[in-house]
Amino acid sequence: MDKRKLVVSTGNGHKIDEIKSILSDFDIEILSKNDIGLEEFDVIEDGETLEENSIKKAKELAEKTDYMVIADDTGLFVNALNGEPGVFSSRYAGEEGNSKKNCEKLIQNLEGIEDRSAYFKTVIALITEDKKVFKADGLCKGTIIKEAKGENGFGYDPLFVPEGYNKTFAELGNDVKNKISHRALALEELKNIINSLI
């Protein structure tokens, strides 16, 4: 029998590697949308919440394939900024996916503010081959430092120090991050869901 396949609604190699490593216990082939010829596939993320965006992305991808699909949405929520950048995390500075500009804008907006507490949240939507929808989420609390540190990771990782640590996600490296991050926790919950489906 062929391996079950799981298509992830991303072309981001970092994300695929992270997901493969966390779901390595399962006999499932993990593919990016690019692997199934959907490089151009894109979904307008116009939901007001991470849940809305991840479910919308998963549903639109599920219409294009018969495999299981997952889509996630992640946001960084800074308490002193009323939850900004939140659902706009990847385009905070106005340009989709420009991490350097996003980090610069965040540092600027937090200038002179003492409360630098924040949390990352990931919501993953899973749609099975028979189009049932499941949802998993994960949350990681921490603080935002005043200048970027570390070479690993992506997005806001160089600015975010998770609770209980004195280094940023970008300094801690993937081994630690893949155990404690918001996405890792959401994927752990997803593992339980997949386990119940297999």
- CATH number corresponding to 4-197: 3.90.950.10
Residue 58 has a pLDDT of 96
pLDDT, block means (10 residues), the chain with 198 residues? 84 83 88 89 87 95 94 95 95 86 96 97 96 96 96 89 96 86 90 86
Residue 139 has a pLDDT of 97
Where along the chain do its domains lie?
4-197
pTM: 0.88
Residue 43 has a pLDDT of 84
Q: Please state, in angstroms and as integers, the Cα–Cα distance from residue 194 to each residue in 24, 55, 153, 158, 179, following that order.
A: 12, 17, 26, 32, 18
SS (H, E, C) the chain: CCCEEEEECCCCHHHHHHHHHHCCCCCEEEEEHHHHCCCCCCCCCCCCCHHHHHHHHHHHHHCCCCCEEEEEEEEEEEHHHCCCEECCHHHCCCCCCCHHHHHHHHHHHCCCCCCCEEEEEEEEEEECCCCCEEEEEEEEEEEECCCCCCCCCCCCHHHEEECCCCCCHHHHHHHHHHHHCHHHHHHHHHHHHHHHHC
Residue 18 has a pLDDT of 79
* Angle separating helix axes 13-22 and 169-180, nearest 10 degrees: 40
Catalytic residue among 73, 137, 157, 175: 73
Residue 84 has a pLDDT of 96
Active site residue 73: yes
Please state the separation of Cα 189 from the chain's center in Å. 14
Tokens representing 182? 């918001």
Peptide bond into 85 cis (omega under 30): yes
Residue 41 has a pLDDT of 83
Please give the single-letter amino acid code of residue 114. E
